[in-house]
Chain A
Amino acid sequence: KQEVTQIPAALSVPEGENLVLNCSFTDSAIYNLQWFRQDPGKGLTSLLLIQSSQREQTSGRLNASLDKSSGRSTLYIAASQPGDSATYLCAVRDFNKFYFGSGTKLNVKP
């Protein structure tokens, strides 16, 4: 069974700092990997989706990379802002199965 791990579990940084969130998975046979954002009391919002044949995806200040062979993905957030404060989850898809990490809770201090 696929296992997804996210490190760190929580992160607090000052505004303006660049930061990296990590996601690792045990089985490299994946269809895609997604990064989601979850705000308190709300559902998940998809940020970036990297297909298995891709190495990275970018959207604005966000950049996600995928290294299937090592079972790792990183989410890079540039010039962090207080509005980025949320929990970030990565999800690995194995055809019709979706496996989520436990998330990294990010706090960006003004």
Chain B
Amino acid sequence: DAGVIQSPRHEVTEMGQEVTLRCKPISGHDYLFWYRQTMMRGLELLIYFNNNVPIDDSGMPEDRFSAKMPNASFSTLKIQPSEPRDSAVYFCASTFGLAVGDTQYFGPGTRLTVL
């Protein structure tokens, strides 16, 4: 398997624009996670899905953020409108399950810069 795939790898946009980040999890993994990493706050869980259903979105910072998973092989994280403080690296991760021995596999991340 190619691992978790994220696109784009880099995104530069202007304040107020809509941004869409994409993720393809590892085939067969039932759980998908979106994280945000900043220098100030470290790595934070935003939302996670189980079998395409959002389970916990308590980490989503504001209503400007939304995430969808229309099928088992694709998820999006959308920011509308974007703000400079949204600049961060956004990671997607997937895992087979939530048993104590299950590990997460991370994608390479999308570095977002909002000017």
Contacts and interface: CB of A to CB of B under 8 A. Distances in A.
Interface of A: 31-32, 34, 36, 41-46, 49, 51-53, 89, 91, 95-98, 100-103
B101 A32 contact: yes
Contact of B107 (A43, A46, A89, A103): A43
25 contacts: A32-B100, A32-B101, A34-B103, A34-B104, A36-B106, A41-B108, A41-B109, A42-B108, A42-B109, A43-B91, A43-B106, A43-B107, A44-B93, A44-B104, A46-B104, A49-B103, A51-B100, A52-B100, A89-B43, A97-B45, A98-B45, A100-B42, A100-B43, A100-B44, A101-B42
B105 interface: yes
Contacts of B44: 100
Contacts of A51: 100-101
Interface size for chain B: under 10, 10 to 19, 20 to 34, or 35 or more residues? 20 to 34
Contacts, number: 50
Mostly, the B contact residues are strand
A53 B103 CA distance: 16
B45 A95 contact: no
A45 B55 contact: no
Interface in B89-115: 91, 93, 98, 100-101, 103-109, 111
Contact of B106 (A32, A44, A102): A44
Contacts of B91: 43-44
A42 B4 CA distance: 12
A45 B103 CA distance: 10
Contacts of B55: 96
A110 B98 CA distance: 40
